[in-house]
Amino acid sequence: MLTGVTYTRKARDGDSREHSYRVTRCHRNPYHRLWKPGVDVVAYPDTGKFGYGNLVTCGSTWHCPLCAPKITEYRRAELAAGAARVIGQGGEIVMMTLTYRHDADMRLADSLDAFYTARDKFFSCRAVKETMRQVEAMGRVYSTEVTFGANGWHPHLHVLVLCEKRRDDLVDRLETLRGQWSRAVMKSGLGKINDHGFDVRNGDYAAEYIAKYGHEPAVFAWSAAHELTKGHVKQGRGGNVTPFDLLGVLATGKSVSIGNREIGPDDASDLFREYAIRFQGRQQLVWSKGLRDKLGIQAERSDEEIAEGDGERDVIGTLTLDEWRMVLGYKNGRGQLLAMLGKHGRSALPWIIESLKKAKPNHPDEPWFSEEKKFVGY
């Protein structure tokens, strides 16, 4: 998917270095291990499912259809716990949505930084700070999302404002900040906002948003990544698609129509690259400073830690590096092996491996495979 794609990041010494995306190695490259080289096949007693161990997990919410659902589900549970606490203490949560007007010719490269600048200008301006004080906001949670539609990329920011007390005029008070957002967008070079550029909704919407958070990418773990290759391409709301939907176009080879455009695999690939580069390194969900402490929500775990998981697992076997390379030689071989284990049980592992050895690889150009040292980073 992102083979050969690199991004540039400034190092501490000021030099820019090229890095390859860690997602290209996710659930693919084993870690170097002296005592028992290879890839573990594991069973999760809690769920009865199977998976792999000793593999790189990229922990990218933006790029990885395998890691993203795990991370967003964890983040959603945290958010729901925080929200429950606010409501339980007699508070209320309001949801603001901020965006700007974009058209099909606008590149993400030109608009995304400006959008973040507008956000910072907005939240640091005096009127906004004063209003937040008046509504007794305990803090905010920011969630950046992006879809692609007839008018090009549509980045938008949902801001949950967690208020100490329930009061009738919360939405109206926050509504008064439309002018401030409009000015911040204008000053950041993104032109005039339209009606949809600024939106404030009450607690019911905030609750619905939290409940659905992270369910947008319609891909869950291996089984559903499987589904993605079977031709499931979901249309986003209002004819917009999500970046993972674009991956679906790539996986199935089936175009999707967006506005009056047919997006085929080549376009989808270009668009996903544009998105991947621009969102690399950004945080998807951000809690304002001190909010976690106020709500007694535990210290933050990194996306990578969440993606690695800490559930109980039994190692039921270890594939040698050659065997693993063989699995990678089949299209969706990793998913298929797990599906076969699910069907025939853990004792079937040895014969599954034997039958793999007899079959003919149908994905022999598997491009990347190497062992890596743990914690090398990007």
Instruction: Give me the residues that bind Zn ion (CB under 5 A), please.
Output: 26, 58, 64, 66-67
Instruction: Name the residue nearer to Zn ion (CB basis): 64 or 157.
Output: 64
> Minimum distance between the CB of residue 247 and Zn ion, rounded to whole angstroms?
13
Instruction: Name the residue nearer to Zn ion (CB basis): 100 or 244.
Output: 244
> Minimum distance between the CB of residue 3 and Zn ion, rounded to whole angstroms?
15
What would the two tokens of residue 255 be?
């175009």
Q: In what order do the strands lie in the sheet with 285-287?
A: 198-201, 92-98, 152-163, 137-149, 285-287
> Minimum distance between the CB of residue 70 and Zn ion, rounded to whole angstroms?
9
Instruction: Name the residue nearer to Zn ion (CB basis): 224 or 356.
Output: 224
Instruction: Name the residue nearer to Zn ion (CB basis): 229 or 255.
Output: 229
Question: Where do we find the tokens 């991956």?
Answer: 247
What would the two tokens of residue 174 be?
């926050």
Instruction: Name the residue nearer to Zn ion (CB basis): 66 or 263.
Output: 66
What would the two tokens of residue 78 be?
């945290």
Rounded CA-CA distance 219/70 in Å is 10
Instruction: Name the residue nearer to Zn ion (CB basis): 66 or 171.
Output: 66
- 1: closest CA among 94, 64, 81, 53? 64
Instruction: Name the residue nearer to Zn ion (CB basis): 20 or 151.
Output: 20
CA atoms within 13 A on the CB side of 104: 8
> Minimum distance between the CB of residue 67 and Zn ion, rounded to whole angstroms?
3
Burial of 364 (0-12, 13-18, 19+ CB in 10 A): exposed
Residues 6+ apart with CB under 8 A from 226: 332, 335, 339
Rounded CA-CA distance 53/42 in Å is 6
> Minimum distance between the CB of residue 51 and Zn ion, rounded to whole angstroms?
13
Instruction: Name the residue nearer to Zn ion (CB basis): 64 or 79.
Output: 64
Instruction: Name the residue nearer to Zn ion (CB basis): 64 or 135.
Output: 64
> Minimum distance between the CB of residue 40 and Zn ion, rounded to whole angstroms?
17
Concatenated DSSP letters for 262-315? Answer: EE-HHHHHHHHHHHHHHHTT--SEEEPTTHHHHHTPPPPPPHHHHHH-----EE
> Minimum distance between the CB of residue 26 and Zn ion, rounded to whole angstroms?
3
> Minimum distance between the CB of residue 295 and Zn ion, rounded to whole angstroms?
29
- The DSSP secondary-structure symbol of 361 reads P
What would the two tokens of residue 377 be?
């980073």
Stated as kind and residue range, the H or E segment containing 326 is helix 321-328
Rounded CA-CA distance 62/1 in Å is 14
> Minimum distance between the CB of residue 44 and Zn ion, rounded to whole angstroms?
18
